[in-house]
Amino acid sequence: MLRRLLERLREDVRVVFERDPAARSVLEVIFFYPGLHALWLHRIAHWFYRRRLYFIARGISHFSRWLTGIEIHPGARIGRRCFIDHGLGVVIGETTEIGDDVTIYQGVTLGGTGKDRGKRHPTLGNGVLVGVGAKVLGAITIGDNSRIGAGAVVVKSVPPNCTVVGIPGKVVIRDGRRVGIDLNHGELPDPVSDAIQRLQDYVEELEQRVMTLEQELEAVRRQRASADEPGPGRTAARVTCGGA
């Protein structure tokens, strides 16, 4: 059992080096990575929680929150090779289930949407990445290898191999390519920005059409005004008729 525990600890440290280019040494990772501390303390708290020693479990969870700035309910289930980068402000609810090889960035909330009992927090599949400040709310499922963009608010289940961005979250990539665990968030599309751009283009098109119509109307008005103005022949005819 001790060998298995040591192997899990080594695995956790290896994951940090795989996903964080800022990691320099094993000692640095062990002593100065709050995400790692939070996961280790959570495993202890979860052990007590499963044995219905709730007070001790919550005490360890509360200490972990004070130490790391990461709040993980002791009832949450977290798989292997989970990586919480930076981690400040991360909140993981009681009935949350997290698969293997999941990456979570700072400010993420895996929370509920009400006071219902039972399953009320999300389930994250294997290989999921949740970007900075994203909120995944309710008893929904995020499919394997999906990516949640920074700042997204997801309230509906997401199929596997998808990319979700926006408020509310919208699937913008699905099965187009396999989404792996990487740190390149700059290529995430922004459907809100795209919609605003399309609206702006449409408004500019309408303005151009209105301008063209105003010019045509002004030309028609000038033609009518020119046609209504009396010419020299008309004036003379009117004078002659009046003299007769």
In angstroms, the CA 6 to CA 20 distance is 21
Residue 170 DSSP SS3: strand
Model pLDDT, residue 226: 80
Enter the tokens of residue 101.
């090889």
Model pLDDT, residue 232: 58
Model pLDDT, residue 176: 62
Residue 161 DSSP SS3: coil
Q: Using alpha carbons only, how large is the chain's radius of gyration in Å?
A: 32
**Along the 244 residues of the chain, how does pLDDT read in single tens digits?**
777 888 888 898 999 998 988 888 999 999 999 999 999 999 999 999 999 999 999 999 999 999 999 999 999 999 999 999 988 999 999 999 999 999 999 999 999 887 778 889 999 999 999 999 999 999 999 999 999 989 899 999 999 988 898 888 888 877 765 445 454 555 556 666 777 888 888 898 999 999 999 888 888 888 888 877 765 555 555 545 555 4
Model pLDDT, residue 233: 56
Could you please report the per-residue DSSP string of 66-103?
A: HHHS-EE-TT-EE-TT-EESS-TT-EE-TT-EE-SS-E
In angstroms, the CA 70 to CA 64 distance is 7
Instruction: Find the DSSP H helices in the chain.
Output: 2-19, 26-32, 34-50, 54-68, 191-228, 232-243
Residue 177 DSSP symbol? S
Residue 154 DSSP SS3: strand
Name which of 86, 87, 61, 82 is nearest 13 in CA terms.
82
In angstroms, the CA 212 to CA 201 distance is 17
Model pLDDT, residue 125: 92
- Report the run of H or E that residue 165 belongs to, with start and end: strand 162-165
Name which of 230, 146, 132, 167 is nearest 157 in CA terms.
146
Cβ contact 106:125 at 8 Å: no
In angstroms, the CA 26 to CA 22 distance is 12
Whose tokens are 């004070």? That residue is: 66
Model pLDDT, residue 189: 61
- How many C-alpha atoms does 31 have within 13 Å on its Cβ side? 5
Model pLDDT, residue 187: 56
In angstroms, the CA 80 to CA 164 distance is 24
- Cα torsion angle, 74, 75, 76, 80, sign: positive
Model pLDDT, residue 66: 95
